[in-house]
Amino acid sequence: MSSLKRWRQVGQGQFQKWETPGQELEGTWQGMHEGRFGALGTLESGDGRFTFPLPVALRDRLAQVRPGALVLVRYMGLQTSNAGRTFKGFEVFVAEQDGWGGPMTPMPLPFGKEV
């Protein structure tokens, strides 16, 4: 095989960059995987399959979503932390029929004694 060939992986869909505040992707969450330059996420929508970079703020939110869930990801633009660092902000919404709207089981508090 020649090392001059450029290979493209089949089935990865379109690559979506987060550039414009208010930009949204809606569809079925496929999960995370490692890309050439860091973590990537994949979402299957009515317009096809989208692969996009996962900055830390987005990766932390999507880590809580199970593959197969219907999600809406919204880019909020650059934001500044309390420490003065700039980061890309995101909102992530999950459809209620995917199990996030049901009652939660109460968890015992880690402090104090039960009465």
pLDDT tens string 74-103 = 999 999 999 999 999 999 999 976 545 444
pLDDT digits (tens, 9 = 90+) for 1-53: 556 666 655 555 688 899 999 999 999 999 999 988 899 999 999 989 999 99
Residue 104 near residue 71, CB atoms below 8 Å: no
pLDDT for 85 equals 92
pLDDT for 43 equals 94
pLDDT above 50: residue 115 = no
Q: Which pTM does this prediction carry?
A: 0.71
pLDDT for 12 equals 55
Residue 79 near residue 53, CB atoms below 8 Å: no
pLDDT for 101 equals 47
Which residue, among 76, 69, 75, 24, has the nearest Cα to 50 in the 3D structure?
24
Q: Which domains does the chain have, with CATH numbers?
A: 14-97 (2.40.50)
pLDDT for 104 equals 46
Residue 77 near residue 21, CB atoms below 8 Å: yes
pLDDT for 106 equals 52
